[in-house]
Chain A
Amino acid sequence: MQGSEPSAPPTTFEEAFERLRATIEELETGPLPLETAITRYEDGMRLAQVCNEILDGAELRIQHVLREADGEAGSA
């Protein structure tokens, strides 16, 4: 299974979602060699799972607070 993975696993939801969409496009538009179609199917299912996992596990927080540097306050 892992050997047929064509590219690196997605790191973000957006990437996984976009790749899922692209996979569907590919499957729905052209006839693919059966081998490729089955690989794409496996990819698609894995991507959908990744998407769901990311959504389930997401937690909102403020990651960074960019305060004005002390010196900057009067400079603008």
Chain B
Amino acid sequence: MMRSSPAMGAHFFQVHELVGYIRELLTGDPILSDVWVTGEISELTQSAAGHVYFTVRDASTRISSVMWRSQVRRQSLPLLPGFQALVHGSIDIYDQRSTYQLIADVVLPGDAGRLRAQFEALRLRLEEEGLFAPERKRPLPRIPQRIGIVTSESGAVIHDMMRVWERRYCNLEIVLAPSVVQGEDAPRQVVSALRRLNDFHATRAPLDLIIVARGGGSPEELAAFNDERIARAIFGSPVPIISAIGHEVDYTIADFVADLRAPTPSAAAEIVVPAAEDLCREIDHMTDRIRSAVRRQLDESWNDVRDVQHRLERHSPSRAIDAERRAVDDLVARATRAIHAELASARTNVEGAAAQLAALSPELTMRRGYAVCTRVVDGVVLTSPAGVGLGDLVGIRLASGQLIGEVLERNEPKAAGARKETHARE
């Protein structure tokens, strides 16, 4: 890029080459790419595209500056002519006109540097002291009942928060301790409001948490919340504290000490309560769980009852009774069989005896020729002549048939061996 002539020791450039060289020098310089400059803002214009052109100057010197549209959008402090400012940016060259300028990305109030330094010093000191320690951050209740608020009574902040709660969850008791939230008296008033809420908490009704809130504003307006008194009051509060100061990008010392930092007051209102509709769903879900738990338990109880019933049936006395009954039947059958046998044998005996008896009957004897003699008048069997007189009729019974005879002679058995039949034949 650079043309040089060694013979003459001189450097020859095209214009754009020279400008390019200068640009490389400027943009390659680490200091010039990250500078803070204080001065008054003047000659302020905004292009149709949204870029803001201005001059930063002091008593004798000035430098052209531009803030591109993308940065303008992020700039919280309004840029006004005559404003004493601290501008941050980098130095670059605008090629066509070959002018260097400050490309600004942040414009702060003129004493911002001092404030920033104070802020950093306090932050470091309190951090070393342990005021920001993560382990001292207290958990917040999921469903708070009573919430203390420190904020301005007249500002939009309290109304914004109330609107969030009206929409999201309104079963809340709000205890407001009004305080101004900017200006010189703000730190004292915020500390006093915190004390009133802590007194209320101790003596009247417990607070679940306290929100210290302030809407968006310039760093100067938020500066009260960098006050050490507020930091110590937050640190000493027995009630957990949520800080909700300014917008999401703003950090104050109060944010570091608080148990929780919310990006904005409305966000704080959202964070601290559950949504009522979620709770309703949760309650429905819980009643379902209760129902099924009890149903399960009832089923188990039914099963237990059935189980016991089955076991009871297995041990029922009716089985034992059946068994006894079968034993009795068995015995009866055996007894019956025994009796029948007995009877049969008795019958056999009787038949035997009858046979014996038959053998002893006189008929057989009479068949051999013996006869039985009876007295006819009365049928008495005669065993001697004494029973009849001469002329009496006697019956003589033979094995078959009968004879009637008359006693013609009687031989008394005086002489042994006398035979009557011989006389009876006569």
A binding-site residues for B, Cβ under 8 Å? 12-14, 17, 20-21, 23-24, 27-28, 31-32, 34, 37-38, 40-41, 44-45, 48, 51-52, 54-55, 58-68, 72, 76
Contact = CB atoms under 8 A, between A and B. Distances in A.
A31 B297 contact: yes
Contact of A37 (B145, B172, B173, B294): B294
B1 to A, nearest CB: 68
B187 to A, nearest CB: 9
Given A24-B286, A48-B283, A66 B200 contact: yes
B287 A65 contact: no
A17 B297 contact: no
Majority secondary structure, A binding face: helix
Given A27-B290, A55-B276, A58-B170, A65 B145 contact: no
Contact of B196 (A24, A40, A61, A68): A68
A68 B188 CA distance: 11
B191 interface: yes
A76 B293 contact: no
Contacts of B297: 27, 31-32, 34, 37
16 contacts: A13-B171, A14-B143, A17-B279, A27-B294, A34-B301, A37-B298, A38-B294, A44-B287, A48-B283, A51-B279, A55-B280, A63-B146, A65-B178, A67-B178, A76-B188, A76-B192
A58 B174 CA distance: 13
Given A24-B286, A58-B170, A60-B162, A66 B294 contact: no
Interface of B: 141, 143, 145-146, 153, 162, 165-166, 170-178, 188-189, 191-193, 196-197, 200, 276, 279-280, 283-284, 286-287, 289-291, 293-294, 297-298, 300-301
A63 B143 contact: no
A28 B143 contact: no
Contacts of A54: 171
Nearest to B293: A27
Contacts of B146: 63
A60 B145 contact: no
Contacts of A72: 192
Contacts of B291: 41
Contacts of B289: 24, 27-28
B196 A20 contact: no
A52 B197 CA distance: 30
Contacts of B290: 23-24, 27, 40-41, 44-45, 48
B287 A60 contact: no
B196 A59 contact: no
A49 B59 CA distance: 75
A27 B177 CA distance: 44
A43 B301 CA distance: 20
A24 B293 contact: yes
Contact of A20 (B286, B293, B294): B286
Given A20-B283, A48-B283, A76-B192, A60 B165 contact: yes
B280 to A, nearest CB: 6
Contacts of A52: 280, 283
Given A20-B286, A55-B279, A55-B280, A60 B166 contact: yes
Given A51-B279, A55-B276, A65 B153 contact: yes
Contacts of B162: 60, 62
Nearest to B282: A17
In this complex, the member of A21, A38, A58, A72 whose beta carbon has the largest number of chain B beta carbons within 10 angstroms is A58
B280 A13 contact: no
A22 to B, nearest CB: 11
Q: What 7 A-B pairs come out closest when comparing CB atoms? A: A60-B170, A58-B171, A27-B293, A44-B290, A66-B196, A41-B294, A66-B177
